[in-house]
Amino acid sequence: MSNEANLHGHTEVVTTHPVHHDEHHVHHHKETFVTKYIFSQDHKMIARQFLITGIIWAIIGGLFSVLFRLQLGYPEQSFPILETFFGRWAAGGKIVPEFYYALVTMHGTILVFFVLTAGLSGTFANLLIPFQIGARDMASPFLNMLSYWFFFLASIVMMSSLFIETGPAAGGWTMYPPLSAVRQASLGSKLGSDLWLVSMALFIVSSLLGGLNYISTILNMRTKGMSMTRMPLTMWAIFFTAVLGVLSFPVLLSGAILLLFDRNLGTSFYLSDIVVNGEILSNEGGSAILYQHLFWFLGHPEVYIILLPAMGMVSEILSVNSRKPIFGYMAMVGSLFAICILAFLVWAHHMFVTGLNPFLGAFFVLLTLLIAVPSAIKVFNWLTTLWRGNIRFTPATLFAIGFVSLFISGGLTGIFLGNSTIDIHLHDTMFVVAHFHIVMGVASFFGMFAGVYHWFPKMFARYLNNTLGYIHFWVTIIGSYLIFWPMHYQGLAGIPRRYLDKRAWASFNQFADLDKMITVVSIIVFAVQLMFVFNFFYSIFKGRKVRTQNPWKANTLEWTTPIVAGHGNWEGEIPEVHRWAYDYGKDGRDFIPQTEPIGENESKDH
């Protein structure tokens, strides 16, 4: 693929956008506050916008979980602080059940979509793609900007739904109809659900604009010598993530639009035979299960959309800090590809007990458990990468190691749930909650933290405070295991998800002490996350300054840019690439940057 041609193509595109900078004179145009910080088309600024918006959402979503954990851990007590936050929704210091479900729904929606999809992919895809493949910016900086602002719009709509009279959507983050479709069925199914659906539609537009941009940039704009197989694994991971998103989000959009029709136009896509509170509805012939198929056709790839970028960053960070190449580069790419394909073929494992044809179920068991093979390959390759390395425990490394640990723990419990026989008992119990929080929630957060600690110097030309970083890591990993490990036992006991008070049950009331413990630990863990946020914002302005171009002694291209890279990234020519990204410890040399030509006497390997 001729890179020069692409660069020329790029230049031509640039000239049609007067706002964009001429890439050969990086600081030519005067930037105003608005074009630099708000409607910026610079991938680095858009990455920061995604990250900071994601952080704000994470605080809100995390706070919700802590507050509803209060109710879960201490159902008999009342907490004035809840009334302070929620007013009439927690009159007398107890969350009313309808609002409890609204909180659970918002917690899930916010963290899955706004934090771990937009906040994670949006940040690191934007930051790293041009940097690591050697491009001046994204293929379309303008679409990139739109991608952020659609996300922002989606955020505004979702946020506004928190303040309306009937409260936000309360049907769970999956929003299964008829509960989410029939207004009489719950308070959250009134205006809140319409706002949820509109917000998701905007979010999907944002995600598609971003994803198409990531794919076209990676395919077309790699610098000279940067063949696909010389790309760092972060690039491969983000590439597959974008492919997953582009192919699956439109299906969710169709599902959401049909749901909007059912809610507002009197159609019956999902509705049939409904008598709600004695009122007989006229809808006949729809299928409530249809929505679940549409939802999970996105919903399952979605968990990999969340997880793959984290995997990519962890691969990169473990290799850099072990001072050793990633083990089995091609196997890593291959397993990412396998996961990407299989992600589309397993959605019905979320639906084993919906009355799905058991014969069909058997295929989904097979395909689901197949995913364990590429996952196992990845784990063993990470372990081998650490083996006989010379490991520096930066906060990023620790979070990457934590990611692997959590990925193992959470991945193994997936083998229980993916097996339909066991799923009959464990479906929709606390076991599921424990499983996906570890493997998708906390693990991806660890990947994201690793990325933030590792690339913070590139983003802000300053370091995060290390001591706070270490405290952050240790409290978070210990806390996460304390919160989610024992939760599996609640699931084995058959305790269903989303039960805010179990005292009335003879079979489910034996874990009161455990619930209290989990609540206390979650408060501590949340407090430490706030400390991280403080560290983040404090260090942007007051952190230790970065004085060397390549502080981690890494091979990839982003560390060849100036410490504070301008719009266009490199001053002068974009460097040419001569080797893969993982020549660490080769021929007795600590590291060999990708830009260094292959030496004459160099041992042959890649």
Partner 1 sequence: MSTTFIILILILGFLITFQIAKASEYVAVMRGEEKVRKQTNKINGFMLLAFLVAGLIGVYYCNEQLKGKILGEAASDHGDKIDTMLYITLALTFIVFVITQILLFWFAYKYQESDDRKPYYFPHNNKLEVIWTVIPAIALTVLVGFGIYYWFGITGEAPKNSMLVEVTGKQFGWEFRYPGKDGELGKRYYKLTNEAAGNPLGQVWEDAANHDDVYATQEMHLVVGKPVKLIITSKDVIHDVGLAHFRMKMDAVPGTPTTMWFTPKFTTKEMKKKYGDNFVYEISCDQMCGKGHYSMRGTILVETQEEFDRWMASQKPQYYTAFPDKDPDNPKMAMPADSAKAMTAAVKP
The packing angle between helices 466-484 and 512-542, to 10°, is 160
Angle, CA of 146, 151 and 156, to the nearest 5°: 120
In the list 36, 229, 266, 393, the residue contacting partner 1 (rule: CB under 8 A) is: 393
Is residue 601 close enough to count as binding partner 1 by CB under 8 A? no
Beta carbons of 393 and 469 less than 8 angstroms apart: no
Q: How many CB atoms are located within 10 Å of the residue 3 CB?
A: 20
Stretch that binds partner 1, among 27-35, 150-158, 368-376, 552-560 (CB under 8 A): 368-376
Look up residue 457 and give its two tokens: 């110097």
CB of residue 190 to partner 1, shortest distance in Å: 13
The packing angle between helices 141-161 and 43-73, to 10°, is 20
Stretch that binds partner 1, among 23-31, 147-155, 287-295, 307-315 (CB under 8 A): 287-295
Is residue 606 close enough to count as binding partner 1 by CB under 8 A? yes
Residues 216-255 that bind partner 1 (CB under 8 A): none
Query: Could you give the C-alpha distances from 88 to 73, 92, 93, 170, 196, in angstroms and in order?
Result: 21, 8, 9, 16, 22
Residues 64-103 that bind partner 1 (CB under 8 A): 79-81, 96-98, 101
CB of residue 262 to partner 1, shortest distance in Å: 13
Residues 309-328 that bind partner 1 (CB under 8 A): 322-328
Residue 178: cis peptide before it, omega within 30 degrees of 0 = yes
In the list 261, 354, 596, 602, the residue contacting partner 1 (rule: CB under 8 A) is: 354
Beta carbons of 511 and 443 less than 8 angstroms apart: no
Residues 545-584 that bind partner 1 (CB under 8 A): 582, 584
Residues 33-52 that bind partner 1 (CB under 8 A): none
Is residue 5 close enough to count as binding partner 1 by CB under 8 A? no
DSSP 478-507: HHHHHHHTTHHHHHHTTPBTT-S--TT-SS
Closest by CA position to 536, among listed 62, 113, 54, 46: 54
In the list 54, 122, 168, 171, the residue contacting partner 1 (rule: CB under 8 A) is: 171
In the list 52, 212, 341, 415, the residue contacting partner 1 (rule: CB under 8 A) is: 415
In whole angstroms, give the CA distance from residue 282 to residue 286.
11
Closer residue to partner 1 in complex, CB, 516/586:
586
In the list 200, 477, 483, 525, the residue contacting partner 1 (rule: CB under 8 A) is: 477
Look up residue 175 and give its two tokens: 């929003």
Look up residue 200 and give its two tokens: 């998701």
In whole angstroms, give the CA distance from residue 379 to residue 307.
14
How many residues interact with partner 1 (rule CB under 8 A)? 136
Q: How many CB atoms are located within 10 Å of the residue 584 CB?
A: 22
Is residue 343 close enough to count as binding partner 1 by CB under 8 A? no
In the list 36, 88, 544, 545, the residue contacting partner 1 (rule: CB under 8 A) is: 544
Look up residue 488 and give its two tokens: 């599996």
Is residue 273 close enough to count as binding partner 1 by CB under 8 A? yes
Residues 506-525 that bind partner 1 (CB under 8 A): 506-508, 510-511, 514
CB of residue 135 to partner 1, shortest distance in Å: 26
CB of residue 92 to partner 1, shortest distance in Å: 14
Bridge partners (DSSP) listed for residue 591: 584
